[in-house]
Amino acid sequence: MLTVRGVHQYYGGSHILRDVSLEAVRGQVTVILGRNGVGKTTLLKSIMGLVPIKSGAIELEGRPIQQWTPYQRARAGIGFVPQGREIFARLTVEENLRMGLASRPAGTPIPPELFELFPVLRQMLGRRGGDLSGGQQQQLAIARALAAGPKVLVLDEPTEGIQPSIIKDIGRVIRMLADRGDMAVLLVEQYYEFARELADTVCVMQRGEVVARARGSEMDAKGIRGLVAI
């Protein structure tokens, strides 16, 4: 569904991404594991077109998209949940969800499925996003990204600052979305246990490079924990 081939990216004179290649496959969760500062967020921003790449290719269903704007990539089917959630604090929950429909025709209704995935959002439609707890804001951010029916869901550390009960709910939803078979999930994470529970495939990054790959079921046997231990 989504393919990254030989991507290099620089900030000034710093070589941030070094020949990064990976695939996010329909019906699977692909996890990018790594400590802080290894280039995980930069990779996701490159996939979304928020920062330019120096060389390499990014393809969606076989089509090169590295020259596309972020809006074009979103409209083509990439849903992005950024680190820190970045919801609109002054807008209501309903208005935030409608922002996720910006690329759809006017009047497109909010998909009822979102409230099945995250029931708490139905109860809070009229509340401002900034009044929600951190866990509720994360659920809102994911629902906003899902509103337009993406082909690829890209999540940047969705467990950051979230209470354990909500982490379990988010993990359940991610697994459910992948298991439907019509979407690829690309998940950046630094917490090993959460990654191991969800990953069909895992890539480990260090210093801007992918240094190891494994099936989720092989993570312990291949010593992946030792590569990301702090």
Domain range summary for the chain, segments of one domain joined by +: 2-85+151-228
230 residues of the chain, pLDDT tens digit each: 999 999 999 988 899 999 999 999 999 999 999 988 899 999 999 999 999 999 999 999 999 999 999 999 999 999 999 988 889 999 999 999 999 998 888 888 999 999 999 999 999 999 999 999 999 999 999 999 999 999 999 999 998 888 888 999 999 999 999 999 999 999 999 889 999 999 999 999 999 999 999 999 999 999 999 998 75
Residue 147: how many CA atoms within 13 Å on its side-chain side? Answer: 24
Strands 2-11 and 55-60: antiparallel
Q: b/e per residue, 59-76, with b = 16+ CB within 10 A?
A: ebeeeebbebeeeebbeb
pTM of the shown model: 0.93
Among residues 157, 133, 122, 154, the alpha carbon closest in space to that of 35 is found at 157
Strands 55-60 and 29-33: unpaired
83 DSSP assignment: T
Task: Kindly report the CATH number that applies to the domain delimited by 2-85+151-228.
Answer: 3.40.50.300
The answer to whether residues 194 and 25 touch, using CB atoms and an 8 Å cutoff, is: no
DSSP H or E segment with residue 32: strand 29-33
Q: Which amino acid is at 148?
A: A
